[in-house]
Amino acid sequence: MASGLYMSVRRRVHEIVAVAGPGDTLSRVFDVSIIALILLNVAAMIFESVAVIREAMGSAFTAFEYISVIIFSLEYLFRIWSCVEDPRYAHPVFGRLRFARTPLALVDLLAVLPFYLPFVRMDLRMLRILRIMRIARLAKLGRYSDSLQTLGRVVGTKKEQLISTVFILLILLVIASCLMYYAEHDTQPDSFSSIPVAMWWAVTTLTTVGYGDVLPVTLIGRLMGAVIAVLGIGMFALPTGILGAGFVEEMERRKQSRCCPHCGKELPK
């Protein structure tokens, strides 16, 4: 009886912390709550880098960090505990170890580990930005509408890919700003005084504009700048490729709709 109740609770916990199923309101609320907490953590990390805000709200940032670590730690433990409900991780020991080595599980662990290991000086809170990829669970593709014009139909059919690209660009922008802030802040306290200020460099680099008013001077900063600049070229080419492929598909679909399905000849207008 107790064993059955234990397994039932574990199964329900797994359903809640995993991807929300159709009609599972509690799981959906959990997903939205975790994503909201991740977004708030990203915002707190950014604003905390501004000296004026940090001095005025230092205690609030500290309290929020404690609350966030407790929630993220419990979430991580629940995921490890309930992962055996997934057939891929069914073994009670080795299954959990395999799950713990998955990329998202490692990110979850590293996002809270520095809090429990005071001797780790590196601020790994920026890894919580990567957890925002869970927001993809909430992205749903809209239904196709014949009343829209060609551009509207293309954007509609490629909406999921475009949303994913925008989120990736935003994540890359925040990560680039955080990395460059920590790499250059001590050397250039004026040019990289905070993460929001570093975002200006990230935007000009990712868009390949490169005004040259703010430049990294440290070795690690220049290496990261080179990588980020190359990534920016590829990332901004993604929406163009998606829309271009969408237009080709739409034109092909319209051409086929005007042809007779039996003989293949174009139907009269």
- The domain spanning residue 187 has which CATH number? 1.10.287.70
The whole-chain average pLDDT of the chain stands at: 77
pTM, to two decimals: 0.59
In a shared domain, residues 156 and 100: no
Specify the CATH number for the domain of residue 4: 1.20.120.350
If one compares 144 and 130, the residue with the highest pLDDT of the two is 130
Residue 37 shares a structural domain with residue 125 = yes
Q: Cα 190–193–197 angle (5° rounding)?
A: 105
Pair (151, 65) in one structural domain: no
Paired with 266 in beta bridges are: 259
From 133, 148, 167, give the residue that closes a domain. 133
User: What's the CA dihedral at 172, 174, 179, 182 to 10 degrees?
Assistant: 180
Using CA atoms, how far apart are residues 216 and 191, in angstroms rounded to an integer? 9
pLDDT per position as a tens digit, 215-247: 788 888 888 888 888 887 777 777 777 777 777
- The answer on 205 and 120 residing in a single domain is no
Q: Are 66 and 170 part of one and the same domain? A: no
Residues 17 and 91 in one domain: yes
Same domain, 167 and 201: yes
For residues 193 and 48, the answer to whether their CB atoms sit within 8 Å is: no
Examine the domain organization and report whether 174 and 122 are in the same domain.
Answer: no
Length of the chain: 269
For residues 170 and 110, state if they share a domain: no
211 exposure class (CB count in 10 Å sphere: 0-12, 13-18, 19+): exposed
Most confident of 56-70, 104-118, 183-197: 56-70
pLDDT greater at residue 115 or residue 36: 36
Answer whether residue 136 shows pLDDT above 50.
no
Residues 214 and 192 placed together within one structural domain of the fold: yes
pLDDT of 144 above 70: no
Structural domain boundaries enclosing 202 = 139-269
Number of domains in the chain: 2
Q: Round to whole Å and give the CA distance between 42 and 45.
A: 5
The Cβ of residue 85 has, within 10 Å, a number of other Cβ atoms equal to: 17
Distance from the first to the final alpha carbon of the chain: 71
Secondary structure string (H, E, C) spanning 50-75 = CHHHHHHCHHHHHHHHHHHHHHHHHH
Domain C-terminal end among 106, 133, 160: 133
Tell me the per-residue pLDDT of 146-188, one tens digit each, with 9 for 90 and over. 434 566 677 777 778 888 888 888 888 888 888 888 888 888 8
Q: Are 54 and 92 found together in one domain?
A: yes
As beta bridge partners, residue 250 has none
Residue 266 per-residue DSSP state: B
Residue where one domain finishes, among candidates 86, 107, 133 = 133
170 and 239 share a domain?
yes
Nearest-angstrom CA–CA distance, 59 and 11:
39
Q: How many CB atoms lie within 10 A of CB 120?
A: 12
Confidence of residue 67 (pLDDT cuts 50, 70, 90): very high
pLDDT tens by residue, 100-125 = 998 778 878 877 777 777 655 555 55
